[in-house]
């Protein structure tokens, strides 16, 4: 099984960035813990972070027929990007949307997502554990759909 982990703008600042909201772990810490989980589940996990919308779109397009599932924290592009939505619709790869913070408990401009209604599921407010829950859910989804 091949899973792509995408993190959008400012998530490279995790650990430094508003730790009360986003936690103390760096993105490198989170990704290495996820790589361990992936290895134990016999999954190939490829991870990319970018601050650039077009790089995230290119990564989604390149996933066509190359990845079985996408886990994405689109950062602020969640609330702005019709282009990311269209890329995910174009490749038709099932995905889970993850947010570290509970976006619904924050400013109203964070309450709307351009991705949630086309996601397999959405996890928010559970901190870095949300990525682990997403990986677990992705693997069960793939096992039940790929037999």
Binding residues for substrate: 73, 79, 86, 100-101, 110
From CA 104, how far away is CA 26, in angstroms rounded?
A: 23
From CA 85, how far away is CA 70, in angstroms rounded?
A: 13
Tokens of residue 87, six digits: 């890329």
All residues at 6 or more sequence positions from 19 whose CB lies less than 8 Å from its CB, including other chains: none
Whether the CB-CB separation of 99 and 131 falls below 8 Å is answered with no
Residue 104 among the catalytic residues: no
- Could you give the string, one character per residue 40-79, with x where binding to ligand DQA holds by CB under 6 A and - elsewhere? ---------------------------------x-xx-x-
Pick the piece of the chain touching ligand DQA (CB under 6 A) from 35-43, 84-92, 99-107, 131-139.
99-107
Q: What is the nearest approach in angstroms of ligand DQA to the Cβ of residue 76? A: 3
Closer Cβ to ligand DQA, 45 or 72, answer by number: 72
Q: Which residues are catalytic?
A: 22, 99
């Amino acid at each position: 099984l091949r899973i792509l982990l995408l993190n959008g703008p400012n998530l490279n600042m995790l650990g430094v960035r508003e730790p009360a909201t986003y936690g103390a772990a760096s993105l490198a810490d989170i990704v290495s813990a996820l790589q361990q989980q992936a290895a134990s589940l016999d999954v190939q996990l490829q991870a990319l972070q970018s601050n650039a919308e077009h790089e995230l779109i290119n990564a989604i397009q390149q996933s066509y027929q190359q990845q079985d599932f996408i886990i994405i924290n689109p950062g602020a592009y969640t609330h702005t990007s019709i282009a990311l939505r269209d890329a995910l619709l174009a490749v038709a790869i099932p995905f889970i949307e993850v947010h570290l913070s509970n976006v619904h408990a924050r400013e109203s401009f964070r309450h709307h997502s351009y991705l949630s209604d086309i996601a397999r599921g959405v996890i928010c407010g559970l901190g870095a554990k949300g990525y682990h829950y997403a990986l677990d859910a992705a693997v069960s989804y793939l096992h039940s759909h790929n037999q």
